[in-house]
Amino acid sequence: MYWNEEIETIDRSNLKKLQLKRLQGTVRILYEKVPFYQNKFKELGITPEDIKSLDDVRKLPFTTREDLRDNYPYGLLAVSRDKIVRLHTSSGTTGKPKAIFFSKNDINQSAELIARCLIMTGVTKDDVLQNMMTYGLFTGALVMHYGAEKVGILVIPAGPGNTERQIALMQDFGSTCLHLTPSYALYLSEVMESKGIKPKRDLSLKRAYLGAEPYSEETRKKLESMFEIDIYNSYGLSEMNGPGVAFECICKNGMHIWEDNFLVEILDPSSDEPVKEGQEGELVLTTLCREGMPLLRYRTKDITKVISGDCPCGRTHRRISRILGRVDDMFIVRGVNIFPQQIERVLMSIKGVAQNYQILLESYDKLSVKVEIEQDFFDGSIEHLLNLKTKITEKLKSEILVTPKVELVEPGTLPISEGKLNRVIDKRTL
Amino acid sequence: MKIKQISVFLENKRGRLLEATEALAKSGINIRALSIADTSEFGILRLIVADSEQAKHILEKNNFAVRENDVLAVAIPDVPGGLASVLKILNDKGLNVEYIYAFVQRSGEKAIVVLKVENLDLGIEALVERGVVLLTSKDIEQL
Ligand SMILES: [Zn+2]
């Protein structure tokens, strides 16, 4: 089932033609209307006429989070204020937030993308979506809400929190789809378990859409078995309309990114050069259909890779992997870019390894990883511990291409990490 | 015939051995036999105590990774070649001894050693057949 079969299964060469036409249009508008981009074009010595092919996107300037802040609040508008109907913001850790504006057409377009996403996972008009994201300045809930309404399904605007009421809503209205963050999903499953609620027996859930936070494939599997539903990855960011930028189809093997709306580049964050197809890099997006606030080459800081090959679902829009990390978390050892999430993925796939680990950087050519062993793994045998250590070392080496020094530590002795960054201790000085 | 041994994972952190033994001492647990197997990075402390259940509980409460398993304890005549004769019995049967360590003895004419044999049951059989005295958990409690 498709929402918009013609565009979702568009032939790649036609898609590229469409992308080029839209890119040229976007560039022209920004050149004419937005002083920030006018100045950038002037600095680079380019005009819209220089964009003759899709590869020419590389001549265009990047847009960063800082640019959005510097031009807060109205600096990046490409239409007059009266054309704008909605504001969303994206909070930063420090200072001013980023303001994102939607015209009426932008609202429609983002709803169109969500409609494609929902239908892609098998939704029909009979479904009931319980939207458990935050309604407000954050794009997560509203964009999904409008898209679901466009499909014609019943939306319960529950918002997050008040878990008992959430469960009651599911029971009373027979919610079939949930939209929530992975951490809330984990919490919800614990509450259900403690209340003796068996999803399959007591609820009508079929699927859930998880987004807004990174989470691992292991967590997905765990949640799928706890709720006995299908869980689909959703990727989006406020700067690019919010959710619906990329979404998984029923094949659950990567997220189709809507290339008629976004021009996708995956760049090596240290050189800004495109990576080879299939390799990891920073996702850089150019809006192709946005009216209110088009952005050129926006640096998402999210690390992903293109999953090559055709998808059995028939959609021709390429798939990207779940977000593998953030550029800001990246560190370099022996000239190799390494993301903490790569290390986490490897560690979590090895039996005997507990949840906690720590990455220590003491010099530019040495990487140490402290790994807590699982209580049950310890059976008194030195040999088993040494084997585990060797296994961790070898698996890490094949993933990150640097041989780490692996140290096994007692369960429960490493500090419990609240954010990913706490896992990395960088003692190096410049 | 088998006795309980406790193994404790010690990451190579100074003071961890002390913490483990202190935790046991505080609870009045007397260590009868002890050995440390060491690699360059971590160690395993092996203990024989009178009440291994309690010792395990205390160590776990102090966040140690602990495992209980069975070993053999044999009384060996305190004469030259006493230990060798026991090992020969096992060797003749093709039974591998993974490790061995001695008891802390107050007095007595016999030395007591702990043996971790690959196959405990076959080990017991071989030793008993040749008249070697195996200690029971009761014996350990009364030591
Ligand atoms: Zn697909």
So what's the pLDDT on residue A110? 97
So what's the pLDDT on residue B107? 59
Taking the C-alpha atoms of residue B71 and residue B42, their distance in angstroms, rounded to an integer, is 22
Spatial contact of B114 and B102, defined as CB atoms under 8 Å apart = yes
So what's the pLDDT on residue A68? 94
Q: Position of tokens 């920073």? A: A282
Spatial contact of A320 and A246, defined as CB atoms under 8 Å apart = yes
Candidate from A373, A382, A411 with C-beta closest to B37? A382
Q: Which portions of chain B are predicted below pLDDT 50?
A: none
**Residue of A324 and A288 predicted with greater confidence:** A288
* CA A259–ligand 1 middle distance (angstroms): 14
B65 with A386: Cβ contact below 8 A: no
Taking the C-alpha atoms of residue A365 and residue A233, their distance in angstroms, rounded to an integer, is 36
B11 with A413: Cβ contact below 8 A: yes
pLDDT greater than 70 at residue A422: no
Residue spans in chain B of domains classed CATH 3.30.2130.10: 2-69, 71-142
Mean pLDDT of A314-325: 94
So what's the pLDDT on residue A420? 47
* CA A311–ligand 1 middle distance (angstroms): 5
pLDDT tens-place string over residues A351-367:
999 878 899 998 888 89
Question: What string of H, E and C letters represents the secondary structure of chain A?
Answer: CCCCHHHHCCCHHHHHHHHHHHHHHHHHHHHHHCHHHHHHHHHHCCCHHHCCCHHHHHHCCCECHHHHHHCCCCCCCCCCHHHEEEEEEECCCCCCCEEEEEEHHHHHHHHHHHHHHHHHCCCCCCCEEEECCCCCCCHHHHHHHHHHHHHCCEEECCCCCCHHHHHHHHHHHCCCEEEECHHHHHHHHHHHHHCCCCHHHHCCCCEEEECCCCCCHHHHHHHHHHHCCEEEEEEEEHHHCEEEEEEECCCCCCEEECCCCEEEEEECCCCCCECCCCCCEEEEEEECCCCCCCCCCEEEEEEECEECCCCCCCCCCCEECCCCEEHHHCEEECCEEECHHHHHHHHHCCCCEEEEEEEEEEECCEEEEEEEECHHHCCCCHHHHHHHHHHHHHHHHHHHCCCCEEEEECCCCCCCCCCHHHHEEECCCC
φ, ψ (nearest 5 deg) of residue B115? -125, 130
Mean pLDDT of A308-331: 92
- In this prediction the pTM is 0.74
Q: Is CATH 3.30.2130.10 the right assignment for the domain spanning B71-142?
A: yes
- In chain B, what are the helix, strand and coil shares in percent, each to the nearest 5? 35, 40, 25
Mean pLDDT rounded to a whole number for chain A:
92
Q: Is beta strand A128-131 parallel, antiparallel or unpaired with respect to A154-156?
A: parallel
- The neighbouring-strand residues paired with B134 are B74
So what's the pLDDT on residue A335? 84
- Between positions 64 and 123 of B, the ones with CB within 8 A of A are 64-67, 69
> Cα-Cα-Cα-Cα dihedral of A220, A226, A229, A231, to 10°?
-20
Pick from A281, A286, A285, A284: nearest CA to A269: A281
> In sequence order, what are the residues at sequence separation of 6 or more whose Cβ sits closer than 8 angstroms to the Cβ of residue A196?
none
> Domain A1-328 maps to which CATH number in 3.40.50.2000, 1.10.275.10, 3.40.720.10, 3.40.50.12780?
3.40.50.12780
* CA A135–ligand 1 middle distance (angstroms): 29
Question: How many residues appear in chain B?
Answer: 143
* CA A111–ligand 1 middle distance (angstroms): 19
Q: Three-class SS of residue B123?
A: helix
**Percent of chain B scored above 70 by pLDDT?**
94
For domain A331-426, give the CATH number.
3.30.300.30
For CA atoms A258, A259, A260, A263, give the dihedral sign: positive
So what's the pLDDT on residue A40? 97
So what's the pLDDT on residue A397? 94
* A195: confidence class by pLDDT, cuts 50, 70, 90: very high
Query: Which of A356, A381, A387, A392 is the best substitution to test chain B (most B C-beta atoms within 10 A)?
Result: A381
Mean pLDDT of A298-307: 94
Question: How many residues appear in chain A?
Answer: 430
- Name the closest residue on chain A to residue B61, using Cα atoms: A412
Q: List residues of A whose CB lies inside 8 A of any B CB.
A: 373, 375, 378-380, 382, 385-386, 389, 407-413
φ, ψ (nearest 5 deg) of residue A89? -125, 160
pLDDT tens-place string over residues A376-407:
899 988 889 999 999 999 999 999 999 999 99
φ, ψ (nearest 5 deg) of residue A69? -70, -45
CA distances in angstroms from B127 to B14, B48, B119, listed in the order given: 39, 21, 12
Query: Can you give the residue ranges of every domain in chain A?
Result: 1-328, 331-426
Taking the C-alpha atoms of residue B35 and residue B17, their distance in angstroms, rounded to an integer, is 11
- Prediction ipTM score: 0.80
Pick from A184, A224, A218: nearest CA to A200: A224
Residue A252 exposed, middle or buried by CB count within 10 Å (0-12, 13-18, 19+): middle
Longest CA pairwise span in chain A (Å): 73
> Domain B2-69 maps to which CATH number in 3.30.2130.10, 3.20.20.10, 3.40.50.300, 3.40.50.10700?
3.30.2130.10
Cα A34 versus chain centre, distance: 28
pLDDT tens-place string over residues B8-39:
999 876 688 899 999 999 999 988 888 988 87
Between vectors from CA A173 to CA A170 and to CA A176, what angle results, nearest 5°? 60
